[in-house]
Amino acid sequence: MDRLSVRQARQESAIGQQARLQGWVRTRRDSKGGFSFLELNDGTCLANIQVIADAALENYESEIKHLTAGCSVTVEGQVKASGGKGQATEVQAARVVVHGLADPDSYPLQKKRHSMEKLREWAHLRPRTNTFGAVMRVRNQVCRSIHDFFQEDGFLYLNTPIITASDCEGAGEMFRVTTLDPANPPRTDQGEVDYTQDFFDRPSYLTVSGQLEGEVYATALGKVYTFGPTFRAENSNTSRHLAEFWMVEPEAAFFDLEDNMDLAERFLKRIVTDVLANCEEDLDFFQQRIDNEVRDRLGKIVEGGFARTTYTDAIAALESSGESFEFPVSWGADLQAEHERYLAEKLHGRPVIVHDYPASIKPFYMRVNDDGKTVRAMDVLAPGVGEIIGGSQREERLDVLERRMAEQDLNPDDYWWYLDLRRYGTVPHAGFGLGLERMVQFVTGMANIRDVIPFPRTPGNAEF
Amino acid sequence: MDRLSVRQARQESAIGQQARLQGWVRTRRDSKGGFSFLELNDGTCLANIQVIADAALENYESEIKHLTAGCSVTVEGQVKASGGKGQATEVQAARVVVHGLADPDSYPLQKKRHSMEKLREWAHLRPRTNTFGAVMRVRNQVCRSIHDFFQEDGFLYLNTPIITASDCEGAGEMFRVTTLDPANPPRTDQGEVDYTQDFFDRPSYLTVSGQLEGEVYATALGKVYTFGPTFRAENSNTSRHLAEFWMVEPEAAFFDLEDNMDLAERFLKRIVTDVLANCEEDLDFFQQRIDNEVRDRLGKIVEGGFARTTYTDAIAALESSGESFEFPVSWGADLQAEHERYLAEKLHGRPVIVHDYPASIKPFYMRVNDDGKTVRAMDVLAPGVGEIIGGSQREERLDVLERRMAEQDLNPDDYWWYLDLRRYGTVPHAGFGLGLERMVQFVTGMANIRDVIPFPRTPGNAEF
């Protein structure tokens, strides 16, 4: 007898097979004819399979008639054609083994709908719901596409360090990592905390980006990408921020900004194409139950090319738009969410890549243009969500890089190894970053970023 | 003109193509005939491609004749058949653009061999060497195989949390993660550190395993795997330990120990098969330069089945072996490295899975056998390295699990959510863990684990 997943058993091709299915009961309905219908789910797809359990089964009265939502069972029987709506097949059970019950008086996931807030308190049970099962399957597909895309394109997967003693570009508040006794840390003669006695002999932190280390490997092996956890110790309780999130950062030697924009566009199209092809059932669910603009938004990614505009042209377009923005538009200021949305949604009606931003609002490592005022930065803005990718061509000229670091009061000694990459065999190179959870929000329409990661980490939340 | 990688340009099929190649010069050799040979490497393969640069090139005297190891160039020209040894092709340069020099007086990577210790100090430059290029390509292949294997088998990729407030099974020393001022932390009225003012409102740590959270998702969605960084704050300076390493942990509902052993065996075979098929050139390098037993060891993984033995039988075999071991052999004690090597290398001459260990030496979550003395644990021992995978069937019975926790003095309140998985719809399930760096050591023969990860983290080392 073959083990079949619910997904497999729902295919017409399974009809006639003797099969073993294993999963969790979603509902039980008893017919007047003296048998029961069990809706069985095993997480392999959104839909359940209907199991028909006859009164003749030996444990029908003792066990089957007591099954409730969440109980776990093994069902053996034959897959048959079904006349029921929305299902090609069903299973006529020859045997039902009950593994575990789920007392309906205490099991939280009863049929009523629960708020997303409530489900976050039950982070260990919420993957058993339709919504979180669908989110996780789509998240898995996005991750798979990320790896497939880069691997097929010759990029090497790179694990940059999580614990680091360097503070990349001062990109944000960092978490400290330590083994010192917090109540009574060792002190120097001057009374300062003596970090030479900490595990790494110096203050150490959780990484905010693997970019600088990615550049090390790109300038040795050509094309690399990181895909790992990243951290921000910002005390922001919003629907768009996590203290711990996953980020993808490709970095490629001999890429200029044009190559980088082409790569970002191909990359986003690939992810969305794969999700559309492989997650149809889950997308229907998101479209109907979560966000009825999901499919429209995804269509805009895969149909036609992205618009491209310089920051300077974008500012001019915003100034002459006739819109009244809350934040003033002026050359030299960062684009606000409302500006980004106008550009992507109203002006272009499709994703737009804004490039060549003012140097004054961008980090030191971005390549300075000949005008001396702008740098080779790029942001991909998507309709409905705004910035989804940020990247740049990197400054490969040692003298320019050192000047930019001095302007931003960075100590070159802290970056000796990063500067060595320019000192020895420097090459033009470029890369970008994509936040995995933002991408999963984009393709599912889930409103809160805490609901697209298995166990969200935010201020005050580190349980499970 | 096509961009070709060195790997592509070395194929006979490239002969005749006009191509642009970009990379780093390994050596320059000037012929008496008035031209130079450049050996060019771009990281896409171990081998270089030979570039012939004629004296007629406009920058021949001014630039090309000054190229040294590490200089970066773009070469445009025609790929031609080569009569040279070990190369099917070479490139006749029509143009050579020099991007960056590498002053031979200060560039560390000159032709002489450097010790592994020295190269660790130059972690930002060592990927430019043959050895570390080869390690990184093989590491990438192993990672790719891991994802491909599980994805093709229907496992969902799961990101378990890095920061956690729970201490999984007390598996080892943990790093604390904090945003409190180390010099002057807030205190309670009793003078204790007031963790309610820390970022997560409680003491928080870096994860030592994603297993318990993996079980949450396996008991909802069926088959999942984690693949992420894991931490141990152990002060051990050995060639087998890192403070930060990457671990793969599959977890599957309705799997018993037999299923788990089958999965582990198929998994290892798949990784090794892929490495043998796709990393032939790099493997030749490891075989010749690093460890001349590499290919033999890999052959033992893919040829034939793994041996399987209970712990009890293994102890009996060790006792009757006639070998004199340093550590005594007795039922109830853990197997030492010398015992593991005897079993895999001498007794079986192939990988062996030892299973059903004494309960007293294993964690609380492993399923207790009917004998009450052993648990459904398994270790995969490989010739040449010893334990490479450890796993178990998990205890799914609430009462047994609670009893085991009490025996090990664990507080059930700390595991309320883990116990809920048994309280509601519990199912048999199993899983295992594989350390990525141990696996890369196994397939490359690299002696020190610090040399198979881009930026090793060990006591006193967190630079880069």
Per-residue pLDDT reduced to its tens digit, A176-209:
999 999 899 999 999 999 999 999 999 999 999 9
In the block, tokens 């910035």 appear at A387
B-proximal residues of A, 426-455, CB under 8 Å: 426-428, 453-455
Of A5, A164, A175, the CB nearest to B179: A175
Helices (H), A113-191: 116-121, 130-152
Model confidence at A54, in pLDDT bands (50, 70, 90)? very high
| CB A432, CB A209: distance < 8 Å | no
Are A144 and B154 an interchain contact pair (Cβ–Cβ within 8 Å)? no
| CB B86, CB B47: distance < 8 Å | yes
| CB A90, CB A6: distance < 8 Å | no
Instruction: List the single best residue of B44, B146, B199, B278 to mutate versus A (max A Cβ within 10 A).
Output: B199
Mean pLDDT for B259-281 is 98
Mean pLDDT for B293-300 is 95
Are B254 and A175 an interchain contact pair (Cβ–Cβ within 8 Å)? no
A-proximal residues of B, 116-155, CB under 8 Å: 123-125, 127-128, 132-133, 136-137, 139-140, 143-144, 147, 151, 154
Dist CA B253 CA A360 (whole Å)? 54
Mean pLDDT for A11-23 is 97
Boundaries of every domain in chain B: 2-100, 128-173+208-451
Lowest mean pLDDT among A14-18, A135-139, A181-185, B215-219: A181-185
Dist CA A349 CA B51 (whole Å)? 48
Dist CA B267 CA A305 (whole Å)? 40
| Whole-number pLDDT of residue A171 | 54
Helix axes B257-278, B294-302, angle to 10 degrees: 130
Alpha-carbon distance A34 to nearest alpha carbon in chain B (angstroms): 25
Q: What is the mean pLDDT of chain A?
A: 96
Query: pLDDT by residue (tens digit) across B316-373?
Result: 999 999 999 999 999 999 999 999 999 999 999 999 999 999 999 999 999 999 999 9
Of A102, A159, A463, the CB nearest to B424: A102
Residues in chain A: 464
Alpha-carbon distance A354 to nearest alpha carbon in chain B (angstroms): 27
**Residues of chain A with C-beta less than 8 angstroms from the C-beta of B199:** 175, 233, 235, 243, 459-460
Are A72 and B426 an interchain contact pair (Cβ–Cβ within 8 Å)? yes
Is B221 an interface residue toward A (CB < 8 Å)?
yes
| Whole-number pLDDT of residue A197 | 96
- Number of A to B CB contacts under 8 A, please give it: 308
Instruction: List the single best residue of A424, A436, A450 to mutate versus B (max B Cβ within 10 A).
Output: A424
Helix axes B436-444, B130-152, angle to 10 degrees: 120
Instruction: Give residue A7's Cα distance to chain centre.
Output: 24
Reported pTM? 0.97
Instruction: Give residue B182's Cα distance to chain centre.
Output: 34
Model confidence at B168, in pLDDT bands (50, 70, 90)? low
Dist CA A221 CA A217 (whole Å)? 6
B-proximal residues of A, 331-370, CB under 8 Å: none
Looking from the CA of A336 toward its CB, the CA atoms found within 13 Å total: 8
| CB B3, CB B78: distance < 8 Å | no
Tell which residue, A211, A245, A125, has the closest CA to residue A429.
A211
The ipTM (two decimal places) reads: 0.97
Of B161, B176, B185, the CB nearest to A455: B161
Dist CA B74 CA A367 (whole Å)? 20
- Percentage, residues of chain B above pLDDT 90: 93
Is A103 an interface residue toward B (CB < 8 Å)?
yes
| Residues in CB range of A121: below 8 A, 6 or more apart | none
Element (H, E) at B238: none
Please tell me the CATH superfamily of domain A128-173+208-451, with its number. Answer: Bira Bifunctional Protein; Domain 2 (3.30.930.10)
Is A247 an interface residue toward B (CB < 8 Å)?
no
DSSP code per residue over B143-207: HHHHHHHHHHTTPEEE---SEESS-GGG-S---EEE-S-SSS--B-TTSSB-GGGSTTSS-EEE-
Mean pLDDT for A23-45 is 96
Dist CA A252 CA A259 (whole Å)? 9
List, in sequence order, every residue forming a beta bridge with A25; answer none if it has no partner: A40
Query: pLDDT by residue (tens digit) across B28-63?
Result: 999 998 899 999 999 999 999 999 999 999 999 999
Dist CA A242 CA B122 (whole Å)? 34
| CB A438, CB A241: distance < 8 Å | no
Model confidence at B166, in pLDDT bands (50, 70, 90)? confident
Model confidence at A139, in pLDDT bands (50, 70, 90)? very high
Are A199 and B127 an interchain contact pair (Cβ–Cβ within 8 Å)? no
Dist CA B126 CA B119 (whole Å)? 6
Mean pLDDT for B166-177 is 74
Are B217 and A127 an interchain contact pair (Cβ–Cβ within 8 Å)? yes
Alpha-carbon distance A190 to nearest alpha carbon in chain B (angstroms): 12
Topology of domain A2-100, CATH: OB fold (Dihydrolipoamide Acetyltransferase, E2P) (2.40.50)
pLDDT over 80 (residue A167):
no
CA distances from B273 to A148, A334, B264, B301, B303 (A): 19, 51, 14, 9, 10
pLDDT over 90 (residue B78):
yes
DSSP β-ladder status, B204-206 and B72-81: unpaired
Looking from the CA of A113 toward its CB, the CA atoms found within 13 Å total: 4
DSSP β-ladder status, A49-54 and A35-41: antiparallel
